[in-house]
Amino acid sequence: MQKKQKTPLLLAGMGVGMFAFGFALVPLYNLVCSVAGINGIATASNQAFISASTVDYSRKVTVEFDSTLNAGLPWKIEKPANKLKVHPGETHNISYRATNMSDKAIEVQAVPGITPWQATEYFKKTQCFCFDTQTLAPGESREMNIQFIVDPDIPQQYKTITLSYTFMNTDRSNT
Amino acid sequence: MSEVATHDDHHDHVPSGIGRWLFSTNHKDIGTMYLIFSLVMLFLGGASAMVMRMELFFPGLQIVDPDTFNNLVTNHALIMVFGVVMPAAAGMANWMIPIMIGAPDMALPRLNNLSFWLLPMAGIMLILSMVVSYLPGTGGQVNTGWTLYPPLSVQAGMGMDFVIFTIHILGISSILAAINIVTTIVNMRAPGMTWFKLPLFVWSWFFTGLLLIMIMPVLAGGVTMLLFDRHFGTAFFDAAGGGDPVLFQHLFWFFGHPEVYVLLLPSIGVLGLVIPTFSRKPLFAYKPLVWFMAMLTALGMVVWAHHQYTIGMSLGVTTYFMIGTILISIPVGMMLMSFIFTMWRGSMTFETPMLFGIAIILMFSFAGVTGVMLAVVPADLQYHDSYFVVAHFHYALIPGALFGLYAGVFYWLPKWTGHMYDEKLGKIFFWWTTIGFNVTFFPQHFSGLAGMPRRIVDYSPQFAEFNFISSVGAMAFGLSHLLFLYIIIKTIRGGEKAPDNPWEGSQIGTVGLEWNLPSPPPFHSFTTPPTIK
């Protein structure tokens, strides 16, 4: 092939390659998030964390619980106690009670968020209903569990952490 | 050389009628069409800005409803970026690069025709995206701004689909144009026109073309995912399905930040010709300047997330993007230094292109300073999404991109039309538009620092004075473009006959071959390659 034909083909190849790269960013992004433990994505290392950590009895961190129903989701959510004072390193179990108020089965994905976000890496969830989607039959009510542990390495300045869940209907045609 | 270039003028075959334009493969005709298209879009994008500024004259709602206002924000940005600056720069590349490097035409002339004619189609689609939301059953307006962030963009009405396909078509058009231009620069240089003899404008387009080929496909991918999320039940950006809206921000700004350099670089290229010409000195540090352009291109690709400091990235990532962003001021600063040292002790004259050139150096440096402020994370968390950002990027893009193109228009109008433009009117236009621009955007720094959010139809009465001044300036700035249009039409229709080389200093330094051709150049030029000593 002549050099003169090579240049445009090379450049076009570059364009096609970058289009593919755009799509490759999707798994790459999730990979980076889970490796770095950012974005609230659970990592396998959380489970091992329980046995490895020692409890820091010298201080307490307040964990507040919050929940939001995404637009038009006909569920009722009862929070656990508004807040809980925990020692860093202690394992705690709490649960949200969810009730499907509609006459249809609804599949929901809960999306967690931590405020302040800088504390996200110190708040470890070892079990969470948010790891999977949750389906409730019409009128069904269920306790949904979370097991968490606050990392003893959490800096002193974070005295209160808010754990907030947004409950989202996975079937978007309803909203 | 001039004889070689023009000896076969008399058997120049110029096609006639509408077919000359529809089926054109001539780089000069296609360049002209690009420029006319961008001029039309300039008035369309300008009109949308005028409506916004009229609405913002006083607090309260007067002219448009909030959704229409937000749709105008979206359209203003998309039209100005994709419809005005990029086509105008591509038009200049089409017109000038072949005759600068001594090529008979672009490397891929038929592709050139395709990449132009996709543009008007995309333009019509973009206008439809705004119109369609007023029809029943089409959902809400495209009220997202040009960044098209989900989840809002997933919920927007049918207009959003028009915007997505507009971006696809525009993307294809600019990728094809970029492939064509880079191939022309690589393969079509006349014998002896070595890489480091190329005029700076050619270099600037070499890097712009590479950037376009690397970034446009990523945006196309991003909006394709958006389309799938909207209609085919995927969840790339939907948290309920395991996706993440922040991912779109990364895809968008991976395109969006280098795009700033796509808009800037061609204008830097024009400055690299205008400043030496009217200083009558060769461009200071030409070779380093080319390398700094390469550095800017490379750095520009890896700093996108400084548009997203507030999304909650980790400290390490934020620090990386902050340092990278501040590093960018080095190549940009070097470019401006190079222009300042070119003027140093030169025999300067102040024709309209030079006036624009000097104004660009002053005002673009100012945007650079506010840019460094915005790059610093703790400060940016305060300035984020305020009018300070609006002021910053308009100071960057209007002098940095638009005024550079105006300088190019006045610099090359004699070559394109064969007539000298009216210097007196040109200078009036320069002062009118520059003062109008500064009156519009300078007060926005203050309203931004005082806390006025951007993309908002109404505002607290405490910002009333700044917004009033801004709107008065905007009306003046907008109206000045009617004079611009008048100057161009007057120059096309007649005026003093332009010599082959109308500028005394244009033959100093690394110059192209365009001044060896008559003004206007023959329909076919350099059919036999010239030789450069």
pLDDT tens digits for range B108-156? 999 999 999 999 999 999 999 999 988 888 888 899 999 999 989 988 8
Is A53 inside any structural domain?
A: yes
- Same domain? For A75 and A136 the reply is yes
Percent of chain B with pLDDT over 90: 83
> By three-state DSSP, how is residue A136 classified?
strand
pLDDT of residue B502 exceeding 50, the answer is: yes
* The two three-digit tokens of residue B485, written as one number: 């249009």
Q: Under a CB-based contact definition with an 8 Å cutoff, are residues B293 and B205 in contact?
A: no
- What pLDDT is recorded for position A38? 61
**Per-residue pLDDT tens for B303-326?**
999 999 998 787 888 999 999 999
Is A42 inside any structural domain?
A: no
Angle between helices B66-78 and B159-187 (to 10 degrees): 10
The reply to whether residue B240 touches residue A168, judged by beta carbons under 8 angstroms, is yes
pLDDT of residue A175 exceeding 60, the answer is: no
For residues B74-94, give the mean pLDDT.
95
- What pLDDT is recorded for position A45? 55
Q: Under a CB-based contact definition with an 8 Å cutoff, are residues A80 and A65 in contact?
A: yes
- Same domain? For A98 and A132 the reply is yes
pLDDT of residue A2 exceeding 80, the answer is: no
Residues of A with CB under 8 A from a CB of B: 3-4, 7-8, 11-12, 14-19, 21-23, 25-26, 29-30, 33, 36, 38-39, 70, 108-109, 111, 117-118, 120-121, 166, 168-170, 172
Peptide bond into B520 cis (omega under 30): yes
Q: How many CB pairs under 8 A join A and B?
A: 93
Is A16 inside any structural domain?
A: yes
pLDDT of residue B224 exceeding 90, the answer is: yes
- Beta bridge pairs of residue B180: none
Q: Which domains does chain B have, with CATH numbers?
A: 2-8+24-516 (1.20.210.10)
- What pLDDT is recorded for position B8? 46
Tell me how many domains chain A contains. Answer: 2
For residues B20-27, give the mean pLDDT.
91
Is A105 inside any structural domain?
A: yes
Confidence class of residue A174 from pLDDT cuts 50, 70 and 90? very low
The reply to whether residue A18 touches residue B239, judged by beta carbons under 8 angstroms, is no
Confidence class of residue A131 from pLDDT cuts 50, 70 and 90? confident
The reply to whether residue B183 touches residue A14, judged by beta carbons under 8 angstroms, is no
A60/chain B closest Cα distance in angstroms: 25
Residues 160-189 of B with CB under 8 A from A: 175, 178-180, 182-183, 186-187
A50/chain B closest Cα distance in angstroms: 24
State the pairing for strand pair A61-69/A160-169: parallel
Is A69 inside any structural domain?
A: yes
- What pLDDT is recorded for position B531? 80
- Same domain? For A89 and A132 the reply is yes
pLDDT of residue A39 exceeding 60, the answer is: no
- Same domain? For A60 and A24 the reply is no
Range of A61's domain? 48-174
Is A43 inside any structural domain?
A: no
- Same domain? For A53 and A111 the reply is yes
Is A56 inside any structural domain?
A: yes
The reply to whether residue B217 touches residue A18, judged by beta carbons under 8 angstroms, is yes
Give the number of other CB atoms < 10 A from CB of residue B10.
Answer: 7
What does the DSSP 8-state code read for residue B233?
-
| Range name among A126-140, B321-335, B364-378 with the lowest pLDDT average | A126-140
Strand arrangement of the beta sheet that strand A91-100 belongs to: A75-78, A91-100, A141-150, A123-128
- What pLDDT is recorded for position B417? 94
- Same domain? For A108 and A66 the reply is yes
- Same domain? For A28 and A74 the reply is no
Burial B152-177 (b: 16+ CB within 10 A, else e): bbbbbbbbbbbbbbbbbbbbbbbbbb
B150/chain A closest Cα distance in angstroms: 14
Confidence class of residue B533 from pLDDT cuts 50, 70 and 90? low
- Same domain? For A30 and A100 the reply is no
pLDDT of residue A49 exceeding 80, the answer is: no
**Per-residue pLDDT tens for A78-93?**
887 788 899 988 888 8
The reply to whether residue B183 touches residue A25, judged by beta carbons under 8 angstroms, is no
Rounded Cα gap, residues B431 and B409, in angstroms: 16
Rounded Cα gap, residues B258 and B252, in angstroms: 11
Domain harbouring A117, CATH code: 2.60.370.10
| Nearest residue on chain B to A12, alpha-carbon basis | B179
- What pLDDT is recorded for position B2? 44
B188/chain A closest Cα distance in angstroms: 9
* The two three-digit tokens of residue A16, written as one number: 């096609």
- Same domain? For A107 and A159 the reply is yes
Residues near B297 by beta carbon (within 8 Å), at least 6 away in sequence: B207, B210, B211, B258, B261, B265
| Range name among B162-171, B390-399, B503-512 with the lowest pLDDT average | B503-512
The reply to whether residue A38 touches residue B314, judged by beta carbons under 8 angstroms, is yes
A25/chain B closest Cα distance in angstroms: 8
- What pLDDT is recorded for position B5? 47
- Same domain? For A130 and A170 the reply is yes
Burial B309-330 (b: 16+ CB within 10 A, else e): beebbbeeebebbbebbeebee
The reply to whether residue B239 touches residue A166, judged by beta carbons under 8 angstroms, is yes
* The two three-digit tokens of residue B459, written as one number: 């505002």
**Per-residue pLDDT tens for B362-381?**
999 999 999 999 999 999 99
- Same domain? For A105 and A137 the reply is yes
ipTM of the complex: 0.82
**Residues of chain B found within 8 Å of residue A38, distances taken between Cβ atoms:** 313-314
- What pLDDT is recorded for position A3? 67
The reply to whether residue A15 touches residue B240, judged by beta carbons under 8 angstroms, is no
- What pLDDT is recorded for position B190? 92
Q: Under a CB-based contact definition with an 8 Å cutoff, are residues B450 and B461 in contact?
A: no
Which is more confidently placed, B242 or B262? B262
Is A41 inside any structural domain?
A: no
- Same domain? For A62 and A6 the reply is no
